[in-house]
Amino acid sequence: MEAPRLAHTMSSPTSPCEEVIKNLSLEAIQLCDRDGNKSQDSGIAEMEELPVPHNIKISNITCDSFKISWDMDSKSKDRITHYFIDLNKKENKNSNKFKHKDVPTKLVAKAVPLPMTVRGHWFLSPRTEYTVAVQTASKQVDGDYVVSEWSEIIEFCTADYSKVHLTQLLEKAEVIAGRMLKLSVFYRNQHNEYFDYIREHHGNAMQPSVKDNSGSHGSPISGKLEGIFFSCNTEFNTGKPPQDSPYGRYRFEIAAEKLFNPNTNLYFGDFYCMYTAYHYVILVIAPVGSPGDEFCKQRLPQLNIKDNKFLTCDEEDGVMVYHHAQDVILEVIYTDPVDLSLGTVAEITGHQLMSLSTANAKKDPSCKTCNISVGR
């Protein structure tokens, strides 16, 4: 792969650009910033005749790719051999500005029919705002480039994980789920003030709230799905819920069949860890036909309630029997209101272990167990 000719010798860095724009031939790296400032030794000159891209359009956005197109004046259009693309995270617009005149900073692709696809998980993250600008360029016989002015700067945001990506996470979670243990109740820990507020202001019914941003950055339920968090893990030696909790000393317990039964659907929502040895799986239980069910049906992989690796509901001798995975911590989101009269509220005897809290917890992007090969 040929690099732009520089006026002095530099070691050729191993560029990941070949992974960036699939189906395109990436030849080089541009050393200008968007304001047209260039290294004096870069060997890149300006030629006003080259058309400046305008009316930039971004489409077909996924969590790690997008299509880009633009309009150009016809003058000198046939001279264009390459496109220079400057892509930056919006929160740090200067992140791609060169700190040394020989450091490659821009993507370069051969001129191809538009729109063209830009993809690459090494620099594109899901649900992240970016800015992009474009130059046209003409490669000369001596290896130098002449370039147009930069286009206007366009902003866009990448998408959440698709069902395809979540299915990849699901398959990874299945590998470590472990054997299944019996359970009989779902439970939710809070401070006593929370339950007092529910009784006084919500007619005794716990209300769904928007899920926080804990877990995978690309999870489509974060900041969007409304639900009530429950736990269902049991202690191996007792078969009962643990007495410790990070969320408060008062616990609401409800019989499993009142939340999870053949009239509900089960969805896989996320798989993550927080720089720890144990992993979390988020599941969503939604009454069939409810708004939460419709939301999940469009975005999440659905699980067979009788046969999956995490949480099952089946009938044995006329009685509903429930099991949960032993080796992951399950966080269950129920998408409808739940009346306190359907269960009991009591104080637990254990400790409040704040270190186990997952509120707005950040996923470990380096964990090979719970990450997939798309933007983190």
pLDDT digits (tens, 9 = 90+) for 301-345: 999 999 999 999 998 888 999 999 999 999 999 999 999 999 999
Q: What does the pLDDT read at residue 121?
A: 54
**Which two structure tokens, joined as six digits, stand for 154?**
């366009």
Q: What is the DSSP string of 210-258?
A: E--S-B-TT-TTTTT-EEEEEE----TTTSS--S--SS-SEEEEEEGGG
pLDDT tens-place string over residues 194-238: 999 999 999 999 999 999 988 898 999 999 999 999 999 988 777
CA atoms within 13 A on the CB side of 119: 16
Cα 277 to Cα 10, 191, 245, distances in angstroms: 43, 28, 18
Q: What is the domain partition of the chain in residue ranges?
A: 54-158, 163-356
The CATH number of the domain covering residues in 54-158 = 2.60.40.10
Rounded mean pLDDT of 15-42? 40
As a whole number of angstroms, the distance between CA 103 and CA 97 comes to: 9
**Which two structure tokens, joined as six digits, stand for 5?**
């000719």
pLDDT tens-place string over residues 241-281: 887 777 888 999 999 999 999 999 999 999 999 888 889 99
As a whole number of angstroms, the distance between CA 26 and CA 110 comes to: 6
Q: What percent of the chain has pLDDT over 90?
A: 52
pLDDT tens-place string over residues 173-197: 999 999 999 999 999 999 999 999 9
Q: Which residues pair with 132 in a beta bridge?
A: 87, 154
Instruction: State pTM to two decimals.
Output: 0.79
**Residue 203, by phi and psi: left (phi above 0), alpha (psi -120 to 50) or beta?**
left
Q: What does the pLDDT read at residue 78?
A: 84
Centre a 10 Å sphere on the Cβ of residue 36 and count the other Cβ atoms it contains: 12
The model's confidence at residue 357, banded by pLDDT at 50, 70 and 90, is: low
Residue 364 neighbours by CB under 8 Å, 6+ apart: 272, 273, 274, 275, 370, 371
The sign of the dihedral angle between the CA atoms of 200, 201, 204, 208 is: negative
Residue 59 has pLDDT above 90, yes or no: yes
Centre a 10 Å sphere on the Cβ of residue 197 and count the other Cβ atoms it contains: 12
